[in-house]
Each structure stands twice: as structure tokens, then as C-alpha cells.
Amino acid sequence: MTYDRHNFTLDGKCTYVLSQDISLKDIHTFQVYVTVDECEPKQIGVKTTKKRPETCTQSLHIAHGEHIIHIQKSKDKTVDIIIDGMKIPKLPVMESWVELTSVQNKELKLILKDSQVEIDSLFEDMSFSVKEILKNMFISKISSASAFFFRYVYQV
């Protein structure tokens, strides 16, 4: 679901800009990308058809200033987290610009402090949400993928 409450399905083998702050000079303080691909046949509840296979989230990529975070599926039904090229061995991670915590060993909670953005992702299926953390703010400065606009990044 987008910030404007529309459901949106990500199809194909692609990486999409999921969310970013609004910038007039195309310089963003943060961007969230999602990579989708066909679901693994073993995933519970996932149905595929020959006409249009279901897609599942394979990874999330967060760019924040000079930092890059990759969150991707691992083979043991958890996620691998890589920050600035270094694999994170365990949670929590508390830095001046980001917090990453595990919620009951089932969910990853990532907070970009300066941008006031929270990203949650379930370990099992990589489903996710991106939320604004608003404190006395009335005007949103975040754009997202919506029914009107999707920025295609690259074809896998």
C-alpha cells in the first residue's frame, strides 16, 4: 500500500524506487529500493500460474547520505544485513544515523533517524512497510511509488 493508501503490486524481475524524500535538485537524503523476482515454489501460500507468476521481495536497499544498507533473504529464513559493504553479524545496530533491531526474532525494524523514516520487514517473506515518523510535522516531504508514478531502475 502506498502513502496515499492505494494497493500496488510489483511485478517482474526488477528493482524499483519504493520511497524517497522530495528534492528539487534530485539529491535525496534517503531512498528505499526494492528488488522483486518470481517467488520460490516452496514458499507457503504462494500460487503461481503460467500466465503471470507471483513475485516476492528478494531484497531491500536503503541509501542514506553516504551509507548503503542491503537487506536480503538468506537460506535459513532470516535476512542478511550489509551496511557499507560489511555484513552485520547480529542485531541490534545503533549508530548516530540508523537503528536496526529485531522484534521477537521475526521482524527487522530499521529507523533512519535524521529522515524520520521507519522500515519494517518480516524475516520469513521479506514483506515490508515504510512509514514516516512524524513529530509535529504537517507537510510530508516523502514521495513513494504510487498509481501515477513508478521509477524503473533496471531490468534483472
How far is it, in rounded angstroms, from Cα 74 to Cα 124? 10
Total residue length of the chain? 156
The whole-number pLDDT of residue 17 equals 85
- Do the domain assignments include residue 1? no
In the predicted model, is pLDDT for residue 153 greater than 80?
no
Exposure b/e, 49-65, CB count within 10 A at least 16 = b? eeeebebbbbbbbbbbe
**Is residue 8 a part of any domain in this protein?**
no
In a domain, 6, yes or no: no
Mean pLDDT for 21-46 is 76
Q: What is d(CA 142, CA 155) in angstroms, rounded to the nearest whole number?
A: 25
* Cis peptide bond prior to 92, omega within 30° of 0: yes
Residue 5 lies in a domain: no
Percentage of the chain surpassing pLDDT 70?
67
7 in any annotated domain: no
CB 116 within 8 A of CB 133: yes
Count up the domains in the chain and report the number. 1
Overall average pLDDT of the 121-131 stretch: 84
Residue 81 burial (C-beta neighbours within 10 Å; 0-12, 13-18, 19+):
buried
Q: Tell me, yes or no, whether 40 lies in a domain.
A: yes
Q: Is pLDDT of 5 > 70?
A: no
Rounded CA separation 10/145 (Å) = 10
Give the pLDDT confidence of 53-94 residue by residue, as tens digits.
677 888 999 999 899 999 998 777 678 999 999 999 999 999
Q: How sure is the predictor about 49, in pLDDT bands with cuts at 50, 70 and 90? A: low
Residue span of the structural domain in which 74 resides? 14-155
> Does any domain span residue 9?
no
Share of the chain above pLDDT 90, in %: 29
- Distance CA(32)–CA(98), nearest Å, equals 14
In a domain, 4, yes or no: no
**Rounded-to-integer distance, Cα 13 and Cα 36, Å:** 6
